[in-house]
Structure 1
């Protein structure tokens, strides 16, 4: 049986708990709409107030009766050790950024956003002051993220989740255009914006997953067939055990295959990848690639990162590459890439060879694949040219002259 989180739809404070639960694998039922929970009514009932005396949401109730209010406490309780910080130092740093969100982000963000939502009266002086405070806070965040991928450690923690959820309404309501015009580096092509976009996207996904009010079903015009259909639609025991998030995901229409418009190809990407991963590249995988490559069904592209001046520490550049690959995981059956970091700290570049299904860049076929690709220049190669054959050989084998690069090959930074 899952624990219950009481909230209202699109409550960014509740997102913290929901994201923490998803990361840690905790089962969480969301009660945010009637009849399970109606904000303004259910939270004023004697039963609710006996467990949560302030009547605020989000509020958490475990299947064992354990109750918690305050979003940070709930998110912390639902997190695993990795999210909380696996060492005393990391745990303290996570707490530092959670406190930073509460004390530094939320007050000016609220002063700026609330008038746009009609929650409070607009005051020009107060709004201008709030804008300046937001600029100061974002500058602090950006400076911290200039030398690291995540706020604490080498992976997402409760610090990242809390800070970005605190920025969510600010970003959605007023700052996207403001930040773009003021050229904040937090929205530049950097590690920080990738983290920002990822967690923003995750929070928005939870907003989309909030259950919607059900509309009364139309009555079947008196027939046994109608009654039969109703019986068929009764939930199975497995469906009844779903929490609200799982049910929302299950009810989403199956995504259309982005490559459905293309004719079937004789080149099977998985077969080539097995050869590439398990056998010698030059004597087996490369010949197999050219023997089976479908020139009509696939295309080959060269990519180069547009902003080499932003590539500072090698580890950050590596994270830039691996982050892109992780976000393109659903493209793997229809694409292959070998991307290499050349050079050294503060003097490097990122280039690669990509093989795509079809004759156009695949990124435009799905919104999920478009976070990173505009940060690169793309050049389609003539598959029959010597240039293409040389590049394919060098990038697949991770060795060669790489004459088009002009920087030394960094042997330790290869991704495929």
Structure 2
């Protein structure tokens, strides 16, 4: 719709200056202070990063575009233009081309303050740019995993193409299981972490599972990372949740790694962990707490 100045000004007046009430509170302080202070509040950091990564937060304020508005309107019949005047016909073709070139270009739309700030920011460097090219293509494995049978299709493909020099396997466990209460909240803890790691999806894969019932549960998973180190260390944006877990690197050639990959990727297995917590496994599977 056309820009309505009065409506815009009224909307701006209704926006609060502070997060809570009409003066500075702890809510504002927690959000704006430096990262070293905020490290003591991991749950607040997780909430904030979850919010700013939502598409509604990332979308900029709508701007009126006259061209798009005109295109959206019903087309009306317009009288046909005559094929140029007699003078244009008599004018040499070369002169007409020169006149078109001399025409002033349409002025570019001026960027607002936010757009100028974004344009001035340096492009983020790829954290994995220093690693050599790998023969293992993660997207191809994800395609096999999501569309085919895990045991008969995805896992054989994984072990046939896995590049142990270019990629690494890790086992993780949630470090504070005594704090896990309601299972739905624990599932939200997992999916929230995956949302905050969305930009890591091209270089990581994980199957993380919640075992347990309300007030008696645990979280663990198997991760695949590009490179030989924990990928979280490559970017501050990925470090919000990883300290809540203990991490152990797996030897891809070991029987333990083969077993963990098979059981966590397929969500089934004969090991004591699954056998002792069969009902727990069922609840976890229904929750959908897995990343592809």
What TM-score do you get using the length of structure 1 for normalisation?
A: 0.50
The equivalent residue for 1:168 is 28
Give the Å deviation of 1:195: 1.0
List aligned pairs for 1:105-254, cutoff 5 A. Answer: 106=23, 109=25, 167-169=27-29, 172=32, 180=40, 187=41, 190=43, 194-196=46-48, 198=50, 240=109, 242-254=111-123
- Structure 1 counterpart of 2:178, from 305, 309, 329: 309
Give the Å deviation of 1:250: 2.9
The equivalent residue for 2:290 is 415
1:74 aligns with 2:9: no
1:383 aligns with 2:252: yes
Question: Could you tell me how far apart the structure 1 residues matched to 2:189 and 2:12 are?
Answer: 31
Is the Cα contact below 8 Å between 2:30 and 2:38 reproduced in 1?
A: no
Is the Cα contact below 8 Å between 1:68 and 1:74 reproduced in 2?
A: no
- Structure 2 counterpart of 1:260, from 103, 122, 129: 129
SS state at 2:246 partner: strand
Query: Structure 1 residues 241 and 287, CA, compared in 2 at 3 Å: closer, same or farther?
Result: farther
Report the structure number with the largest CA radius of gyration: 2
Size of the aligned set, in residue pairs, is 237
Question: Could you tell me how far apart the structure 2 residues matched to 1:255 and 1:335 are?
Answer: 19
Higher relative contact order (CA 8 A, sep 6+): 2
RMSD of Structure 2 on Structure 1 (CA)? 3.4
SS state at 2:9 partner: strand
The equivalent residue for 1:117 is none
Query: Structure 1 residues 274 and 72, CA, compared in 2 at 3 Å: closer, same or farther?
Result: farther
1:332 aligns with 2:206: no
Give the Å deviation of 1:242: 4.0
Give the Å deviation of 1:176: 7.4
Query: Structure 1 residues 401 and 248, CA, compared in 2 at 3 Å: closer, same or farther?
Result: farther
Question: Could you tell me how far apart the structure 1 residues matched to 2:132 and 2:29 are?
Answer: 44
Give the Å deviation of 1:398: 1.0
Is the Cα contact below 8 Å between 2:207 and 2:222 reproduced in 1?
A: yes
Query: Structure 1 residues 236 and 263, CA, compared in 2 at 3 Å: closer, same or farther?
Result: farther
- Structure 2 counterpart of 1:395, from 246, 252, 264: 264
Unaligned runs of 5+ in 1: 3-61, 76-97, 110-133, 135-166, 181-186, 207-234
Question: Could you tell me how far apart the structure 1 residues matched to 2:167 and 2:263 are?
Answer: 19
Query: Structure 1 residues 179 and 255, CA, compared in 2 at 3 Å: closer, same or farther?
Result: closer
